[in-house]
Amino acid sequence: MSEKTGQRLLLQGNEAMVEGALAAGCRFFAGYPITPASEIAELMSLRLPAVGGTFIQMEDEIAGMGAVIGASLAGVKSLTATSGPGFSLMQENLGFACAAEVPCVVVNVMRTGPSTGLSTSPAQGDVMQARWGTHGDHPVIVLAVSTVNDCFTVIVQAFNLAEKYRVPVIVLSDEIVAHTREAVVLPDPAAITVIDRMRPAVPPEWYIPYEDNSRGVPAMAEMGSGYRHHVTGLIHDVRGFPTERPEEVDAFIRRLFHKITNGFTEIQLTNPVMMEDAKIAVIAYGAVSRSALRAVRQARSQGIRAGLLQLITLYPFPRKAVEAVLAQCRRVLVPEMNMGQVIREVKRVNRTTEIVRHNRVDGQLITPAEIYAHLLAM
């Protein structure tokens, strides 16, 4: 990585994702081949052993997610990458990571579904699955990337948030971002903020593995560090042992949510563009936000006061930023490469503004012209 720092490189999104993960300290990758995510695995298999890390190709995505959790429990920052069908298989173990609070990052390079769908075409159909795919009430962090540069910076943020909050972080990419080649300049590793999980500061005999604290995020001891404890997907008490006591179950579930709520201001990332005086706006994420940006610029050149709110964090849903846009604008367009998933969230927080949908489900990117046509009509 060091030899690439500062140079202008032509990278595809999947490659930048690997560079970002390594810069964030990722030293373990387990996964299963799938289009359009396979380049991440291929590049990890080349790069990880040289930095003392581990790559393993597992027998399926269920196993990939399991190995990622195991490696993280042993103290190593871990990543897997997949697409829709594999992401469906990962949901079971993703829930374990939520329950046992195991930091890890899952990249889902979205392709058109359902089922095998269009394996080489982009889509944004997995937003709700990223939020609610695993069973049970649980919090999770979902981020979306729109450019090759995003792939680097957002995956660094994903690892940092995973470590800080002890939660799986899902990064939603899509086939366009994954395979588009763009010029990027990778930042100096020394200039990147890298956060590691909080480890216990007390001697092993005092360590209470799931004890609440001011942040709601317990210190995490890795296996083999002398802090022997039990890790389970059953609801557990503060010592990590299964419990069915209502007051302990209640406290556990509430802390899982509370720790994320505590961090809303730093977790909810958005990128407002030309929003200062906007009267109409586009709320977009992923590759579509690039089409939206182009359309907004075009509208501005015609004297239309249009703006863009690009969502980087999809969950926890950046309510405050969206509410500000809704309060300011008389109409808001939510273009999505699905039949309408984020628009439901926008409508949920809306009070007065008219919200227009624009959906495309033919495996093709929403073009700037389509969005521009809406902006003219708004």
Partner 1 sequence: MTEKTGSLRHDYLRHDKKFPHVWCPGCGNGIVLGSLIRAIARLGLEKDELVLAAGIGCSGRMPVYVDFNTLHATHGRALTFATGIKLAKPALTVIIVMGDGDATAIGGNHFIHAARRNIDLTAIIINNQIYGMTGGQHSPTTPYGSFASTAVWGNIEHPFPIAELAVTAGASYVARGTVYHAAMLDDLLAAGIAKKGFSVIEVMSNCHTQYGRRNQMNDAVTMLRHFKEQAVSVDRAARMTEEEMAGRFTIGVLADVDKPNYTEEYQKIRERARQR
Residues at the contact surface with partner 1, assessed by CB under 8 A: 27-28, 30, 46, 49-50, 52, 54, 56, 58-60, 62-76, 78, 92-93, 96, 222-226, 228-234, 239, 241-242
Q: Which is nearer to partner 1, 219 or 267 (CB)?
A: 219
Q: Which is nearer to partner 1, 93 or 146 (CB)?
A: 93
Q: Which is nearer to partner 1, 75 or 263 (CB)?
A: 75
Beta strand 118-122 pairing with 104-112:
antiparallel
Can you state the angle between helices 342-349 and 319-328, rounded to 10 degrees? 70
Distance CA 39, CA 16 (A): 10
**Residue 146: which of 362, 374, 365 has the closest Cα?**
365
**Residue 367: which of 288, 255, 309 has the closest Cα?**
288
Q: Which is nearer to partner 1, 228 or 279 (CB)?
A: 228
- Least distance from partner 1 to the Cβ atom of residue 47, Å: 8
- Least distance from partner 1 to the Cβ atom of residue 26, Å: 12
Distances (CA, A) of 238 to 142, 247, 255: 27, 12, 11
Q: Which is nearer to partner 1, 159 or 317 (CB)?
A: 159
Cis peptide preceding 103, ω within 30 of 0: no
Q: Which is nearer to partner 1, 135 or 351 (CB)?
A: 135
- Least distance from partner 1 to the Cβ atom of residue 38, Å: 19
> How many Å separate Cα 12 from the centre of its chain?
18
**Residue 176: which of 158, 150, 155 has the closest Cα?**
150
- Least distance from partner 1 to the Cβ atom of residue 148, Å: 25
- Least distance from partner 1 to the Cβ atom of residue 56, Å: 6
- Least distance from partner 1 to the Cβ atom of residue 238, Å: 12
The answer for residues whose C-beta is within 8 angstroms of residue 50's C-beta and 6 or more apart is none
- Least distance from partner 1 to the Cβ atom of residue 25, Å: 13
> How many Å separate Cα 164 from the centre of its chain?
14
The amino acid sitting at 14 is: N
3-state per-residue secondary structure call for 85-111: HHHHHHHHHHHHHHHHCCCEEEEEEEE
**Residue 326: which of 294, 256, 262, 278 has the closest Cα?**
278
Beta strand 104-112 pairing with 168-174:
parallel
DSSP class of residue 74 equals T
Q: Which is nearer to partner 1, 69 or 292 (CB)?
A: 69
Distance CA 5, CA 28 (A): 22
Q: Which is nearer to partner 1, 96 or 264 (CB)?
A: 96
Q: Which is nearer to partner 1, 118 or 249 (CB)?
A: 249
Distances (CA, A) of 324 to 227, 267, 274, 275, 344: 46, 17, 14, 10, 17
DSSP, collapsed to helix, strand or coil, labels residue 208 as coil
- Least distance from partner 1 to the Cβ atom of residue 248, Å: 14
- Least distance from partner 1 to the Cβ atom of residue 12, Å: 22
Q: Which is nearer to partner 1, 50 or 191 (CB)?
A: 50
- Least distance from partner 1 to the Cβ atom of residue 94, Å: 10
